[in-house]
Every structure is written in structure tokens, then in C-alpha cells.
Chains A and B, each alone.
Chain A
């Protein structure tokens, strides 16, 4: 389908023609999929499809910004580029969350999780370990969770709900233990 044909379909869609809009979206979906696939070699099929749908939703949301007197392809390309950049930012944020994996390595070691630490606090009626502030306590709790094989996402959400930072608090707790 040529750019002129796509432009005509979009013009009809802006006037409320649902059939033309279906044709337009069906025509551009494979093009978007190709672009996303070429830009995201490492992404799985589901992730590519999520990005394609993201772009289609964005096209739908801002269809009024298309100027019928201008070519269609640059308009679509600008949206795809922008949504891909957003997707990359989201991916980077998710990747940084995976840093919590280090907790397994750091705290699953029996030497780093002595039973005395856990019981000392519990006996005094204080949920925090003797050596650490509140943040260290939360990390120690998470570390114990790791040792017991608890779910990683649950632990991260638990730390976040309490205002902590998984990797930072985990390191603080580790340093506290080394000092004691």
C-alpha cells in the first residue's frame, strides 16, 4: 500500500470511517512489526507484539495530529521512534530491578546469615537486627527471605512498599554484618 493510500485511509478514519481505519491499522501493523523487530533483535516475539500494540494504541490516541496535507510515513515513523525510545527506557528500568539477583549470591551464603542475628532481635522484641537501622532491618528480612527461597518479586515489592531500595539496603545490611 502506497503512502497516498495510507494517507487517504487515515483521512477517512479521522472522519469516523471504521472500515478504513481497520484497513489502515492492518496495513501498518506488519510495517511496525518489521521496524520493531529490526530495532529489538534481542526481544522475544511477545515483547515485539507488546511494542506493536503500544504503537497502535498511540497511533489511535493521537490520530487527530495527522495533517492530511502531509505524507503519512514520517508521521507514523515519528510515533514508532518515540514509542520505541519509551520502550527502551522501560526496559532499562526493568533491567535495573534485576540487580536484586545479587542478593542471592550475597546473602544465601550461610556465613552471611547467622541464626544468632535473627534470634537476638526477636528475643528483645525488636524486629530490627541489633546492628542495623530500619533500612538494614528490611534488607536483613529480605535476605532471610532469600535464604528460605521466597519469591524475588515479592521481596522487591515488599522492600519498595516500605520505602527501601533492594540493592542499596541489601549492601547496607551486608556491611553492618561485616562490622559486627
Chain B
């Protein structure tokens, strides 16, 4: 028989454990991004020699692209955290959209420059499976860490939340691969990295309700 609401209130109050408020989404995003950047930096250092990456930092378009990727990582994580906090606005989501748009725009601009400099050869596409595999492997640990952190929040929009988290992780992994395996042409980044990020985000959105749901929280809260 279903207990009355008064019984439920007594039960919930009786089993009450302290639940310190979660830190603000912005702060949690900073904490996660810092940890993830350190992890990816170590992974890149392990995968490549320092000379290759240092040379590319002198190229302004390359540097701007990586900064935009990092901004996408941070804002997407902040938006994902914000979506798990009831009553929070959508400012972080807007910031993530702007950052991702700027990143895509910079890579597109790089493609146009390659085309103007080298003609059709500048946008000739070659396969880049090693980058795809590298992105997926690099993203596993930061992705799991982010999922654990997101699961402490409320599953208000599970699919969008997990998709944003995946965007954050994948954009950081893309940044790592751009440093570990510098590409001569930006078209490779646009198509191969872009397709990987899109695929990961869509798959994450599909799995969103399995990762974040009220049933799991209610079960955890009842125990």
C-alpha cells in the first residue's frame, strides 16, 4: 500500500543525512577542466616529442584554434554542470554555443587559407583514424570523471547534459591530438575531428537517460 505523504515526510526526515551544497557550476567546471587539462597534457607528452608541439605555438591561427577548443571544453562543462542545478539559467549554454561556433569558424578560416595558399591540394582530405582512436582513448578518463561529477546533480535534461559533457571532453581530446599529431591541413581537423566530436556527442545524448535518471537518485536516496 502506498504510504501517505505525511508518512513519507517522516521517513525522509528520519533518515536525513547532511548534504552540503554542491559548488557552483562555474567552479566545478574550473576544477574538472584543470584536472582534465593536466591529464591530457601528460598523455600528449607521452605520445609526442616536445619540439613538434612547441613549433606550432608560434602559428597564430593554430594557437587561436586551440584556445577556442579549450574555451569550448570549459564552457561546455560549465553548461553541463549548470543543467544539473535546478533553477539555474541557460547563460552557460549560450557561452558554450558561442565558443564552439568560434572554434568551428577558426578551423573553417584555416581551411580557406589552406585553399587559397595551395588550391585544391590545400583541402585534399586524407584519412586520420589514428587521431580518432587517440581522441577516444584520451577522452575516457576525463569523460568518466565528468560523468561521476554530473551524477551528483539533478537529471533535469539528461540527454542535453551528457551531450554537452561529451562535447567538452571531445574538444579537449581534439586539442590534445592537434598537439600530439600536428596536421598540415585544417580540413583534416574540420572533418575527422569534427565528425568524431559530433558522433561522440550524439552517442552520449542517446545514453543520457541511462547515465542520469531520477530512478537511480531515488534509489540512492532511499537507502
Interface residues of A (CB under 8 A from B): 13-19, 21-22, 25-26, 29, 46, 49-50, 52-53, 56-58, 60-68, 70-71, 74-79, 82-83, 86
Is B87 a contact partner of A78 (Cβ separation < 8 A)?
Answer: yes
Q: Are B24 and A49 in contact (CB under 8 A)?
A: no
Could you give 26 example pairs across A and B, Cβ below 8 Å? A13-B19, A16-B16, A22-B10, A29-B9, A52-B5, A53-B2, A53-B5, A56-B12, A58-B154, A58-B214, A61-B154, A61-B214, A61-B218, A62-B154, A62-B217, A65-B22, A65-B86, A65-B153, A67-B85, A75-B87, A78-B86, A78-B87, A79-B86, A79-B156, A82-B154, A86-B214
Q: Are B19 and A63 in contact (CB under 8 A)?
A: yes
Task: Give B residues with C-beta under 8 Å from A.
Answer: 2-5, 8-10, 12-14, 16-22, 24, 84-87, 152-154, 156, 214, 217-218, 220-222
Partner among A29, A49, A58 whose Cβ is within 8 Å of the Cβ of B218 = A58
The A interface is mostly helix, strand or loop, or mixed, namely helix
Interface majority SS (helix, strand, loop, mixed), chain B: loop
Bound together, the chains give a CA A156 to CA B65 distance in angstroms of 56
Residue of B with least CB distance to A70: B87
What B residues does A70 contact at CB under 8 A? 87
| A21 & B13 in contact (Cβ 8 Å cutoff) | yes
